[in-house]
């Protein structure tokens, strides 16, 4: 019999008062304000024998240095917290504060960046964890799964090699039969690569009076609606939190993306039908949004008509977030209704943290040579030093991205022989009959199915984009992904090979079986 479980929740805003970079596109954006709260949400589960602290951050990714800073703060301030038991995942909103170093290009827009931003974010995340830790009290948990359509496949496959049609996109992607977000209204459109996954995994927490205190909500979808925004926002997780708060009061929500490297919130067919759906279903919300839209550079100079036009796309994206949130909340309620019949006050809690070596994605010398040339070409392209500051920012940051991406292929080629494997941190957590298994990648969905199908647990929550001291991020494509190419499945995007992906599957399963 395991010990009584203690549960605590905490949260902090990740929206600073000052402008910060918003990463997620090839060009950099800078925050012009905060449209919805962006949060670090923490839940502590501990029973005196072991602990796990889930923290979800409304960010595109969390760099390792930020994790280390959070761990250092907690080590100094709350030594009982085991820093290595922190599982911080990025929800992958493309409109969160950026924790990365921006790179070498002229700054035309004022903002705080890099270390300064990380110091702010680390404080907020550490405070959320501290709050959760301090508030922890005996409680219970329940779990279940249901269905909610959140992500759609974003890898469109063609009968012909669309790379031949589109030409080269150096520094961005190498297209083949696959193209990310490709046009489906094309006579050579063949299929979506791997389809989608409508499962939603839910883990609820209750206080000693059996009142709902929060939930870990795990869906195979990155929260990247409104992904071109110049204001901070949390995508559909914000809508989910608001709806749950209206129903259940101020409860905690850890929003996790399950494996969804090849999924996104966008529908790639039925676009006109989607538009009509929102117009008929959410007319008031549309009016509300259009009266107070997400702004962007130059917005104030537009005529009212142009403002309206310019915001139509972000409005649709916002309605998509609302629609996804409604489905998540419907599933949340449905599962809660039956799953809460079975509450566990003392589930077995085991938390393993390991470093696994995953085979690097290798590529031939010719490809490196090609990228070297591309890199040189981009180095010869000039940064923009005058003109509109926003144009400068877009141009310079995009050029920098392309330089970095081409350059990184060259660097990685050099590492191929001496470091054929990449160390990667994974967490595997047992909580009674269910488990959580993390990875740092934008993991293709197939890997999740492989783990879930073979896991000895009733449900296995896969959590992607979990930062470890050894790194964070990068797409991990499958064999079919690599064959089809396209953005997310070319050497620009893949540090780890499909074989490495299978190693991740096997290593994860090994631990799952050990702790079962």
Q: Closest Cα partner for 421 from 507, 332, 337, 312?
A: 507
Q: Is residue 299 a contact point for another protein (CB under 8 A)?
A: no
Q: How far is the CB of 329 from another protein (least distance, A)?
A: 12
Segment lying near another protein (by CB under 8 A), choices 61-69, 72-80, 133-141, 175-183 = 175-183
Q: How far is the CB of 443 from another protein (least distance, A)?
A: 13
Q: Is residue 379 a contact point for another protein (CB under 8 A)?
A: no
Q: Is 178 left (phi over 0), alpha (psi -120 to 50) or beta?
A: beta
Question: What is the rounded radius of gyration, in angstroms, for the C-alpha atoms of the chain?
Answer: 22
Pair 448, 199: CB distance under 8 Å: no
Q: Is residue 307 a contact point for another protein (CB under 8 A)?
A: no
- Give the nearer residue to another protein in terms of CB position, either 464 or 467: 464
Q: What share of the chain is helix, strand, coil (3-state, %, to 5)?
A: 40, 25, 35
Q: How far is the CB of 161 from another protein (least distance, A)?
A: 10
Q: Is residue 309 a contact point for another protein (CB under 8 A)?
A: yes
Q: Is residue 388 a contact point for another protein (CB under 8 A)?
A: yes
Sole binder of another protein in the list 7, 70, 194, 462 (CB under 8 A)? 194
Q: Is residue 450 a contact point for another protein (CB under 8 A)?
A: yes
- Give the nearer residue to another protein in terms of CB position, either 247 or 309: 309
Pick out residues in 462-491 that bind another protein (CB under 8 A). 478-480
∠ CA 144-43-425, nearest 5°, is 90
Pair 193, 262: CB distance under 8 Å: yes
- Give the nearer residue to another protein in terms of CB position, either 4 or 279: 279
Q: Return d(Cα 136, Cα 129) in angstroms, integer.
A: 11
Q: Is residue 80 a contact point for another protein (CB under 8 A)?
A: no
Q: Closest Cα partner for 133 from 62, 70, 201, 217?
A: 70
- Give the nearer residue to another protein in terms of CB position, either 196 or 439: 196
- Residue partners of 364: CB distance under 8 A and separation at least 6: none
Q: Return d(Cα 68, Cα 49) in angstroms, integer.
A: 24
Q: Is residue 459 a contact point for another protein (CB under 8 A)?
A: yes
What angle do the packed helices 498-515 and 445-454 form, to 10 degrees? Answer: 30
Q: Return d(Cα 172, Cα 490) in angstroms, integer.
A: 9
Q: Is residue 149 a contact point for another protein (CB under 8 A)?
A: yes
Sole binder of another protein in the list 77, 381, 414, 514 (CB under 8 A)? 381
- Give the nearer residue to another protein in terms of CB position, either 327 or 427: 327
Q: Is residue 189 a contact point for another protein (CB under 8 A)?
A: yes
Sole binder of another protein in the list 64, 195, 469, 471 (CB under 8 A)? 195
Q: How far is the CB of 326 from another protein (least distance, A)?
A: 8
- Give the nearer residue to another protein in terms of CB position, either 196 or 494: 196
Q: How far is the CB of 440 from another protein (least distance, A)?
A: 21
- CA 52 → CA 6, 141, 237, 346, 411, distances in Å? 11, 14, 22, 14, 36
């Amino acid at each position: 019999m395991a010990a009584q479980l203690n549960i605590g929740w905490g949260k902090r805003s990740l929206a600073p008062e000052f402008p910060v970079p918003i990463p997620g596109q090839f060009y950099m954006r800078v925050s012009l304000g905060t449209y919805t709260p962006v949060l670090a949400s923490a839940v502590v589960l501990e029973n005196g024998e072991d602990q796990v602290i889930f923290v979800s951050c409304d960010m595109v990714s969390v760099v390792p240095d930020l994790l280390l800073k959070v761990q250092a703060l907690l080590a100094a301030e709350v030594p009982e917290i085991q820093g290595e038991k922190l599982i911080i995942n990025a929800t992958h909103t493309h409109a969160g504060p950026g924790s990365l170093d921006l790179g070498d290009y002229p700054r035309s827009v004022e903002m705080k960046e890099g270390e300064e931003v990380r110091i702010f974010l680390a404080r907020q995340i550490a405070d959320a964890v501290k709050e959760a830790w301090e508030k922890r009290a005996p409680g219970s948990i329940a779990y279940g799964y249901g269905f909610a359509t959140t992500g759609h496949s974003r890898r469109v496959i063609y009968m012909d090699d669309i790379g031949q049609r589109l030409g080269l996109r150096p520094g961005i992607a190498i297209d083949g039969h696959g193209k990310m977000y490709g046009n489906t209204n094309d006579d050579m459109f063949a299929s979506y690569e791997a389809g989608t996954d409508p499962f939603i995994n839910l883990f609820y927490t209750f206080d000693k009076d059996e009142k709902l205190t929060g939930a870990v909500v795990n869906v195979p979808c990155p929260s990247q609606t409104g992904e071109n925004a110049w204001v901070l926002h949390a995508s559909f997780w914000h809508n989910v939190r608001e709806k749950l708060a209206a129903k259940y009061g101020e409860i905690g929500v850890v929003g996790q993306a399950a494996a969804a490297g090849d999924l996104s919130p966008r529908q790639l067919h039925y676009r006109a039908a989607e538009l009509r759906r929102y117009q008929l279903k959410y007319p008031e919300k549309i009016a509300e949004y259009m009266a107070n839209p997400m702004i962007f550079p130059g917005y104030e100079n537009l005529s009212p008509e142009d403002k309206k036009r310019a915001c139509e796309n972000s409005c649709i994206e916002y309605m998509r977030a609302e629609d996804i949130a409604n489905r998540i909340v419907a599933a949340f309620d449905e599962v809660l209704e039956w799953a809460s019949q079975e509450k566990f006050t003392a589930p077995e809690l085991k938390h393993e943290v390991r470093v696994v070596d995953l085979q690097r994605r290798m590529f031939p010398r010719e490809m490196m040579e090609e990228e070297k040339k591309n890199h040189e070409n981009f180095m010869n392209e000039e940064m923009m030093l005058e003109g509109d500051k926003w144009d400068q920012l877009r141009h310079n940051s995009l050029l920098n991205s392309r330089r970095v991406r081409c350059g990184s292929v060259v660097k990685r080629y050099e590492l191929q022989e001496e470091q054929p494997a990449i160390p990667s941190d994974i967490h595997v957590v047992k909580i009674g009959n269910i488990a959580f298994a993390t990875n740092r990648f934008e993991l293709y969905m197939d890997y999740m199915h492989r783990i879930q199908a073979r896991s000895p647990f009733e449900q296995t929550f896969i959590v992607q984009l979990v930062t470890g001291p050894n790194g964070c991020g990068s797409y991990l494509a499958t064999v079919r992904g690599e064959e089809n190419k396209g953005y997310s499945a070319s050497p620009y995007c893949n540090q780890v090979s499909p074989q490495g992906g299978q190693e991740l599957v096997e290593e994860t399963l090994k631990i799952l079986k050990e702790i079962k």
